[in-house]
Amino acid sequence: MKLRNFKNFEFVDGGVCAAKGFLANGIHCGLKAGGDPDKNDLAMLYSAQKCTAAAMYTTNKVQGAPITVTREHLQNGIAQAVIVNSVNANTCNADGIAKAQEMCRLTAESLGIPAENVIVASTGVIGQPLPIEPIRAGIPELAKGLNPQGNTSAVNAIMTTDTVPKEVAVQFMLGGKLCTLGGMLKGSGMIHPNMATTLTFLTTDCAISAEMLQNALHEVVTVTLNRVSVDGDTSTNDMVCILADAQAENPEIRTAGEDFEIFKDALYAVLMNLARMMARDGEGATKLIECLCDGACDDKTAEIVAKSVITSSLFKAAIFGEDANWGRILCAVGYAPADFDIQQVNVDLSSEKGCIAVCRNGAGVEFSEELAKEILSEEEILVSVTIGTGAGAAVAWGCDLTYDYVRINSDYRS
């Protein structure tokens, strides 16, 4: 997938290790009996410096034990390390909290830091006890192998049904200093707006207070990860966290201003691209759907409409079949819980193969079915929905609904 570029930001390699001072590693510790030995299942991220830190979590009422422990650890806005496993979500287990705390203790012991400075996360099957023995045995090796190129093995370890690793990093200037912000994301299924279903880990060498870091994360997640849907299911273990170690030596961001805006733009560049990667890699997906809604009375109205379109199962199925069934778009627009005049709605479909108008003023217009088929044959489809003449606009991302989605989720535990 092509990265969406931003002026004044240079995209660089390295993911969570792109920023100064961060090390990572991933190993196969054997959490799944008979699992692929080439597939890592345990990852660690570390900074020798104490970092300001911030996080956001799933809105599901059922929450994994790692979220409970991480919330407690991040009350002071400080962290140095992340320990994360795939295969098992450590959720809905009587001993879940104890095992999440043990993962933190073992990590802290291996790194010589306080256990409360460790963030813990898990992803995988819900409701099965987490085997702690493989993790206990693997953490010393994991810590010993930490290195500034360890992002590749780390991102491999957090993947579940993901088919491709998802990493992005950018560089930018703040106060005359070169700063870097990078991240990695896991997410492919059980993805729906309101913290999506994702484990996302972000690092930056920018100097920024914990309060401003939390403010930036909340603002940017709202317009990126919270705008993605694959299947309408919100998971129990969603988490996005960011660590800032101040190694770039820029003047610390403590208040709103120009530097804070630049930092938020950098965070948006990373999270927006990760969000698009997640939507494109939705379970069984063959196409990325981007819906841009404009002409709304405000941004929130536009967001509601855009989300309604990308979550429509009927429309998602039509995109899989490369069928320009625009009535399904208008249907999804029409049941969106927002106020606008349906007789002002216009809809266009576009891709690298061209653009066609399919609806004007709430009614269909003639178009070439052959051209529509060609446009929808591309891997990235843009749906443009105009609902009036207002200044409000928003974008949301989803994917098509395919036979493989059912196949993947029919035997997920096996």
HSE-up (13 A, CA, CB side) for residue 54:
17
Beta bridge partners of 289: 381, 398
Residue 141 CB partners (closer than 8 Å, separation 6+) = 27
What whole-number distance in Å separates Cα of residue 18 and Cα of residue 201? Answer: 13
The whole-number pLDDT of residue 197 equals 62
Q: Inform me whether the pLDDT recorded for 295 exceeds 60.
A: yes
Mean pLDDT, range 35-48, rounded to an integer? 94
The CATH architecture one would assign to domain 288-410 is: Roll (3.10)
The whole-number pLDDT of residue 2 equals 59
10-280 has CATH 3.40.50.720 classification: no
Q: Do residues 327 and 347 make contact, with C-beta atoms less than 8 angstroms apart? A: no
The type of residue at 170 is V
| Strand-strand pairing, 166-174 and 10-11 | antiparallel
Residue with tokens 């010993």: 144
Q: Which of 326, 295, 325, 328 is nearest to 311 (CA)?
A: 328
Max distance between CA atoms of the chain, in angstroms, equals: 68
Query: H or E stretch including 140?
Result: helix 132-144
**pLDDT tens digits for range 122-143:** 999 999 999 999 999 999 999 9
Residue with tokens 């927002």: 338
What whole-number distance in Å separates Cα of residue 176 and Cα of residue 169? Answer: 19
**pLDDT tens digits for range 193-252:** 666 568 999 999 999 999 999 999 999 999 999 999 887 777 888 899 999 999 999 999
Token pair of 32 as six digits:
């799944």
Q: Which of 21, 39, 398 is nearest to 231 (CA)?
A: 398
The whole-number pLDDT of residue 65 equals 97
C-alpha distances in Å from residue 198, one per residue of 14, 184, 204, 310: 20, 10, 19, 18
The whole-number pLDDT of residue 192 equals 79
Length of the chain, in residues? 414
Least confident of 65-69, 80-84, 195-199, 379-383: 195-199
Mean pLDDT, range 77-95, rounded to an integer? 96
**pLDDT tens digits for range 329-346:** 999 999 999 999 999 999
Q: Which residue has the higher pLDDT, 412 or 146?
A: 146
315 backbone dihedrals φ, ψ, rounded to 5°: -70, -40
Residue with tokens 């998971």: 235
The whole-number pLDDT of residue 289 equals 96
Decide if 197 is catalytic: yes
Q: Inform me whether the pLDDT recorded for 180 exceeds 70.
A: yes
Least confident of 192-201, 351-360, 372-381: 192-201
Catalytic residue among 58, 107, 123, 197: 197
**Domains 10-280 and 288-410 alike in fold:** no
Q: Do residues 140 and 119 make contact, with C-beta atoms less than 8 angstroms apart? A: no
The whole-number pLDDT of residue 68 equals 97
What whole-number distance in Å separates Cα of residue 203 and Cα of residue 97? Answer: 26
Domain locations along the chain: 10-280, 288-410
Share of the chain above pLDDT 90, in %: 83
What whole-number distance in Å separates Cα of residue 236 and Cα of residue 221? Answer: 17
Q: What is the mean pLDDT of the chain?
A: 93
The whole-number pLDDT of residue 190 equals 64
What whole-number distance in Å separates Cα of residue 15 and Cα of residue 184? Answer: 6
What whole-number distance in Å separates Cα of residue 214 and Cα of residue 252? Answer: 14
Report H helices in 19-114. 65-73, 96-111
